């Protein structure tokens, strides 16, 4: 289907340009709304006020400033990327169709390429999705002491792909979010550190001498 057929090829070009300009304006509006929402979260305000959006509130609780900013930037960055990609793909396909080209073969080629890229980057995509859900569900954040496998450390940063933590010896650990199948958060709940080994016998010996 083509638009402005009575104006010939010139009309088709004008139609394609209008579509691209409209897509750009739409992206600017969406980016503004996302940036505004991110700013509200960073300032400690809730984005959603209606009861049926309460499921999203765990991502918006009043954390300390650094953690709140990091979480808001992570979610905002992902939303911006998804919106930009969707708007760009739809606008380009509409512009191509407006110019009179058959987008059927293009869609088929894009589908094949998308499958190939998705297969090759499945680990990266998996890391990103899990990182997003870790952030949304508040499993842990900056400053939390977490236990991942045999490693215990304090979270320094939480990205979509990588969680960076530092252990008691000062070593920096980079853990792929896709590799985290179970995590313990010692900063949540009522975690009590076990007594140091040898502390009880030493105390008993001291009492015996007394």
Say how many domains are in the chain.
2
Determine how many CB atoms are found less than 10 A away from the CB of residue 55: 9
Q: In CATH, what number is assigned to the domain containing residue 162?
A: 2.30.30.60
Residue-wise over 106-145: b if at least 16 C-beta within 10 A, else e?
eeeeeeeeeeeeeeeeeeeeebbebbbebbbebbbbbebb
Q: Are residues 102 and 172 in the same domain?
A: no
- Please give the angle made by the CA atoms of 3, 7 and 10, to the nearest 5 degrees: 90
| Bridging pattern class, strands 162-167 and 183-185 | unpaired
Domain co-membership, 114 together with 146: no
Decide if 38 is inside a domain.
yes
Structural domain span for residue 154? 140-185
Same-domain check for residues 36 and 113 = yes
Asked if 115 and 162 sit in the same domain, the reply is no
pLDDT in tens, 150-185: 899 999 888 878 899 999 999 999 999 988 888 998
Query: Is residue 16 a part of any domain in this protein?
Result: yes
Mean pLDDT of the chain: 77
Is 200 within a domain?
Answer: no
Distances from the Cα of 60 to the Cαs of 46, 110, 129, in angstroms? 6, 37, 19
Residues 99 and 145 placed together within one structural domain of the fold = no
Q: Which residue has the higher pLDDT, 6 or 193?
A: 193
Task: Please report the pLDDT score of residue 172 as a whole number.
Answer: 94
Is the residue at 206 inside a domain?
Answer: no
Q: Report helix angle 122-136 to 104-120, nearest 10.
A: 80
pLDDT tier, 209 (very low <50, low <70, confident <90, very high otherwise): low
Q: Over the stretch 84-122, which tens digit does the pLDDT of each residue have?
A: 989 998 999 888 888 888 877 777 777 777 777 767 677
What pLDDT is stored for residue 46 in this prediction?
57
Whether residue 99 is contained in a domain is answered as yes
What does the block give as tokens for 36? Answer: 């505004």
């Amino acid at each position: 289907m083509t638009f402005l057929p009575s104006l010939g090829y010139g009309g088709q070009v004008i139609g394609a340009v209008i579509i691209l300009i409209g897509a750009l304006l739409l992206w600017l509006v969406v980016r503004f709304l996302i940036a505004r929402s991110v700013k509200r979260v960073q300032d400690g305000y809730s984005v959603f006020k209606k009861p049926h959006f309460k499921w999203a509130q765990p991502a918006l609780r009043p954390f300390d400033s650094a953690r709140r900013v990091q979480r808001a930037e992570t979610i905002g960055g992902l939303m911006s990327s998804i919106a930009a990609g969707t708007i760009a793909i739809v606008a380009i396909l509409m512009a191509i169709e407006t110019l009179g080209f058959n987008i059927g073969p293009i869609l088929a080629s894009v589908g094949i390429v998308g499958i190939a890229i998705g297969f090759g980057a499945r680990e990266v995509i998996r890391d990103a999705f899990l990182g997003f859900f870790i952030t949304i569900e508040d499993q842990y954040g900056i400053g939390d002491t977490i236990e991942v496998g045999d490693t215990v450390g304090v979270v320094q940063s939480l990205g979509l792909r990588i969680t960076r933590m530092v252990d008691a010896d000062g070593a920096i650990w980079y853990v792929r979010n896709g590799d985290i199948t179970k995590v313990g958060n010692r900063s949540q709940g009522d975690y009590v550190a076990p007594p140091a080994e040898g502390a009880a016998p030493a105390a008993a010996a001291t009492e015996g001498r007394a």
